[in-house]
Amino acid sequence: MGIHDAVGSEGSLIQDVHVVTGKLTYTGVSEVIANEIGDLGSGGQILITKRVAEWLFEHSSQVTMTFIIDPVCAYSIPKLNTMLDVFQVVPKALTMRFLFLTFFIYLWLFTLGRLAYYMWVLTLPKNQFVDSVNETPLTPGELDKLGIYITLDIAASTKAAVTCVLCFCDIMHFAVAFWVLPLTYELTKIAANSMDRGIAKEQAKIKFYMIGGHALIAMFLVTEIVLTVIHGGYSLTTYRLVICIYIITIITIAYMVALLFILRCKGRDVEPVDGHFEASPVYLRLKRILIVYAAMAFQFEVTSLYVYSSSDIHDGVLLRYIGVSQVIYNATGLALALLTGCSLPCMVRSARYLLPRDLEIELLPTETLSPGLSYVDGAEVAPILNPVFVVTDIESSSALWAEGDGGVMQRATQVHDDLLRRILTLYRGYEITTAGDSFQLAFHTIREAVSYCLDVQMELLAAPWPKELYGLVPGTRKVRSGTRFIFRGLRVRMGIHDADPTDGSLVHCRHTVTGKMTYTGAAMEIATEIGDLGEGGQILVTKRIAQWLDSNTWLFGHSPFVVDRLRDYAIPHINAHLELFQVLPEQLAKRRKLFETSNKFSDKCSTATLQVDSP
What digits encode the pLDDT tens for the residues 39-79?
A: 776 556 788 888 888 888 777 766 656 667 777 777 777 66
When mean pLDDT is compared over 270-274, 314-318, 319-323, 522-526, the highest value belongs to 522-526
pLDDT of residue 172 exceeding 70, the answer is yes
Q: What is the pLDDT of residue 358?
A: 45
Q: What is the mean pLDDT of residues 404-413?
A: 91
Is 327 a residue whose pLDDT tops 70?
yes
What pLDDT, on a 0 to 100 scale, did the predictor assign at position 100? 82
- CA 348 to chain CA centroid, Å, is 10
The pLDDT score that the predictor gives to residue 21 is 72
Mean pLDDT of 276-300: 75
For residues 401-415, average pLDDT: 91
**How much is the pLDDT for 168?**
92
- Terminal CA-CA length for the chain: 61
Quick: pLDDT tens for 230-251.
888 888 788 788 888 888 888 8
Fold observed for domain 95-342: Rhopdopsin 7-helix transmembrane proteins (1.20.1070)
Output 513 or 352, whichever has higher pLDDT.
Answer: 513
Confidence grade of residue 87 (pLDDT, cut at 50, 70, 90): confident
Q: What is the pLDDT of residue 334?
A: 81
Sorted by sequence, the CB contacts under 8 Å of residue 11 that are 6+ apart come out as: 28, 29
Question: What is the structure's pLDDT at 218?
Answer: 94
d(CA 239, CA 170): 9
What was the pLDDT predicted at 118? 86
Whole-number Å distance between alpha carbons of 143 and 127: 13
**Which pLDDT does position 211 carry in this prediction?**
94
Task: Give the closest residue to 584 by CA, choosing from 456, 474, 479, 471.
Answer: 456
Helix intervals (H) in 80-138: 95-122
pLDDT value at residue 607: 29
Domain boundaries, the chain: 2-91, 95-342, 381-612
Going by pLDDT thresholds of 50, 70 and 90, the confidence category of residue 598 is low
Residue 278: the pLDDT is 63
Q: What is the mean pLDDT of residues 124-134?
A: 78
Q: Which of 378, 464, 449, 458 is nearest to 416 (CA)?
A: 464
Pick one of 3.40.50.620, 3.30.70.1230, 3.40.50.1100, 2.30.42.10 as the CATH number of 381-612: 3.30.70.1230
Instruction: Please tell me the distance from the alpha carbon of residue 126 to that of residue 135, in angstroms, as a whole number.
Output: 20
**Residue 348 confidence (pLDDT) above 70:** no
> Of 561, 558, 596, 563, whose CA–CA distance to 582 is shortest?
563
Taking residue 397's Cβ as centre, other Cβ atoms within 10 Å add up to 22
**pTM listed for this prediction:** 0.48
Per DSSP, which regions of 372-489 are E strands? 388-394, 430-435, 438-443, 479-481, 484-487
Mean pLDDT, rounded, of the chain: 80
pLDDT bracket for residue 489 (50, 70, 90): very high
pLDDT of 337: 74
- Do 2-91 and 381-612 show the same overall fold? yes
Q: What integer pLDDT is reported at residue 460 of this predicted model? A: 93
Please state, in angstroms and rounded to a whole number, the distance separating the CA atoms of residues 438 and 589.
24
**34, 10 in Cβ contact below 8 A?**
no
Burial class of residue 477 (count of CB atoms within 10 Å of its CB; 0-12, 13-18, 19+): middle
In this structure, of 15-24, 284-293, 383-392, the range with the lowest mean pLDDT score is 15-24
Written out in words, the top-level CATH class of the domain with range 2-91 is: alpha beta
**Out of 160-169, 305-314, 420-429, least confident range:** 305-314
State the pLDDT confidence band at 197, using cuts at 50, 70 and 90.
Answer: low
Q: What is the pLDDT of residue 602?
A: 42
pLDDT at 196 over 70: no
Q: For residue 542, what pLDDT is reported?
A: 94
Per-residue pLDDT band for 350 (boundaries 50, 70, 90) equals low
